[in-house]
Amino acid sequence: MNRLQERVLTHLEQIYTYLAPTQRQVLAEQLLEEMQLNDQDINTGRQPGQWNESDIYLITYADSILPADTHPSGPGSENNNVSLQSLHSFMNTHLQESISAVHILPFYPWSSDDGFAVTDYSQVDPRFGNWGHVESIAKDYQLMADLVINHCSSSHSWFQNFIDGKSPGKDYFVTASPEEDLSAVIRPRTSDLLRETDTVNGKQFVWCTFGHDQVDLNFANPEVLVAMVRIVRQYLDHGVRIFRLDAVAFVWKETGSNCLNLPQTHEIVRLLRTLVEQAASDALLITETNIPKRENLSYFGNANEAHSIYNFSLPPLLIHALITGHSRHLKNWLMSMPPAQMGTFYFNFIASHDGIGLRPAEGLLSDDELERMLTVMDKAGGEISWRASDHLTQRPYEINISLWDAMSRHADHEQEGADQWQHQRYLCAHTILLALEGIPAFYIHSLLATGNDYDRLKASGHKRHINRHRWNAQALQDGLDNPSSRHARILHDLKRLIAIRRKQPAFHPNATQFTLHLGDAIFAFWRQSLDRQQSIFALNNISDQVQHVPLSEINLIDTDDWVDLITGRALDMKPADLVLAPYQSIWLSNLRP
């Protein structure tokens, strides 16, 4: 037995305590065979940390940009059979110098939830393209794909086999009795947890964390783990190098617990990391755990679980700061965030295909502050999604709104429509995103300043569709060709900021970061490169009023020549104050690479 086998066995001993040692040995051999690692020892030459300041991620659906001859109406756009090709063309035309990686949301056949109810993990949905299109994108960009690990579609062949009592599938799903006390289970939805299903073995009550078309897989059955690892190997073979573990916090169930973040769940993540990084030295795991901060941080483990975690508290806190003009909560949160260990990084985002998650703001924003934020987002045209709490009461789960519309107004103003600062407020949000410790990720509709899609919301009735617009490629290009359109102006401005960021060693994802205290209206922090040669003071006026910042409070080394990287202007040390216009950002650097 080599060291890799021993390590895999160590993981399996923690997960499957009820298996005999010989059964765990057979399981370890199966997993290594599926990953094509059965004769390989541990790869000790791997260097942790394959990322730097030039890394920028794009988040997009496979059909966010439809071919020019396709109309983006209806839930399926049936004629859309080359949208992956349209997406690739858009990236190469507009983003080749701006992004290093792309997260293409589920591109597999699916039955609901825009891809997250997978009917066949091994295929590309023909409405989007084929594996050749996926591989072509993977040659030009690091490719991130979803491993929808907690559940599959009720239309998946596994679930049909479950109903018919056949393999594979008959033991693949979690079942429970409606007589059991499941009130402690934490869920992001308000639907019934158990789905009554007629099978050849009589009525079964199947566990559905997210909805009745998304049935939870039973990882207590080792065959499910083997099947999922087989899928991981296939994705690697098609060029995927970054795995987003969707809803991974829910994968292990124990009656009587809240079924969230259980020890076996963490061990499964550690096992997957062992297998993935041995199969491909440049492969990464990112956990999608939309939960409060402390629980989210636990998925770093001791730098032996996820390579990266989503910074879920950032979107609600940053948006709250920008619409209220005070950064107290954002600043307190930033001070409480530990630096990511080398070999790990924060995945920073402020908009995505989902809404603005509110669970990560629990304990950070008061109920009154949250209610005020919901009121502002409602006025901006947003919708609210709800979840069931411990006592079966409903609490707000997320705000469904485009980031462009979320940035349209100040909480204290009663005017109808967007105020005069929407563009500046929007850029300020992304300037902060680009400067924070970690790797920034841009939702495609944030790069394009796409507004609320009320037509798609009305057509589908799904609240999240308000921020899942499908662009016709020609209509989008027409908009970008018009330099006065907001889409062209925002994309131009963001690409310029990205280009600056990608050259700064102090913006390395693991570079030092300290929070500065310059008043509630100024959100500021200091970054220092790993070699300590470059310092950047990132100052952001998050209010709609001019702000004066005394130079004496920034502690600039007066023997250095300081320059604002954003404007290119050298800093004049003679005035006592820096003056920041509403929503202006400054990146003061002692180096201009």
Taking only the tens place, the pLDDT of each residue in 126-140 is 999 999 999 999 999
Contact 396, 382 (CB under 8 A): no
pLDDT given for residue 387 in this prediction:
77
pLDDT given for residue 321 in this prediction:
98
Q: Residue 320 CB: number of other CB atoms within 10 A? A: 25
Q: Give residue 591's pLDDT band: very low, low, confident or very high (50, 70, 90).
A: confident
Tell me the pLDDT of the chain averaged across its residues. Answer: 94
pLDDT digits (tens, 9 = 90+) for 553-565: 998 888 889 999 9
pLDDT given for residue 415 in this prediction:
77
Which amino acid appears at position 155 of this protein? S
- Asked which of 20-29, 70-79, 252-261, 526-535 is least confident by mean pLDDT, the reply is 70-79
pLDDT digits (tens, 9 = 90+) for 202-246: 999 999 999 999 999 999 999 999 999 999 999 999 999 999 999
Percent of the chain with pLDDT over 90: 88
pLDDT given for residue 391 in this prediction:
56
Q: Structure tokens of 181?
A: 């006390």
pLDDT given for residue 367 in this prediction:
92
Q: Give residue 76's pLDDT band: very low, low, confident or very high (50, 70, 90).
A: very low
Beta-carbon contacts of residue 312 (< 8 Å; ≥ 6 apart): 289, 290, 291, 293, 296, 357, 359, 360
Tell me the mean pLDDT in the region 167-176: 97
What is the DSSP pairing of strand 345-348 with strand 308-310?
A: parallel
pLDDT given for residue 564 in this prediction:
97
Contact 66, 72 (CB under 8 A): yes
pLDDT digits (tens, 9 = 90+) for 504-522: 999 999 999 999 999 999 9
pLDDT digits (tens, 9 = 90+) for 44-63: 655 556 899 999 999 999 99
Q: Give residue 75's pLDDT band: very low, low, confident or very high (50, 70, 90).
A: very low
Contact 64, 105 (CB under 8 A): no
Q: How far apart are CA 586 and CA 588, in angstroms?
A: 6
Q: Give residue 569's pLDDT band: very low, low, confident or very high (50, 70, 90).
A: very high
pLDDT higher than threshold 60 for residue 392: no
Burial 323-336 (b: 16+ CB within 10 A, else e): bbbbbebbbebbee
Percent of the chain with pLDDT over 70: 96
Pairwise pLDDT comparison (556 vs 115), residue with the higher score: 115
Tell me the mean pLDDT in the region 189-195: 91
pLDDT higher than threshold 60 for residue 249: yes
pLDDT given for residue 340 in this prediction:
96
Q: How far apart are CA 554 and CA 567, in angstroms?
A: 19
Q: How far apart are CA 460 and CA 159, in angstroms?
A: 26
Active-site residue among 63, 216, 246, 405?
A: 246
Q: Is 92 helix (H, G, I), strand (E, B) or coil?
A: helix
Q: Is 246 a catalytic residue?
A: yes
pLDDT higher than threshold 90 for residue 42: no
Q: Structure tokens of 583?
A: 């929503």
pLDDT higher than threshold 80 for residue 125: yes
Which amino acid appears at position 487 of this protein? H
Nearest Cα neighbor of 491 from 451, 450, 438 is 450
Q: How far apart are CA 532 and CA 116, in angstroms?
A: 43
Beta-carbon contacts of residue 507 (< 8 Å; ≥ 6 apart): 53, 434, 435, 501, 527, 536
pLDDT given for residue 135 in this prediction:
98
- Asked which of 23-32, 35-44, 504-513, 517-526 is least confident by mean pLDDT, the reply is 35-44
DSSP classification of residue 75: T
Q: How far apart are CA 206 and CA 175, in angstroms?
A: 4
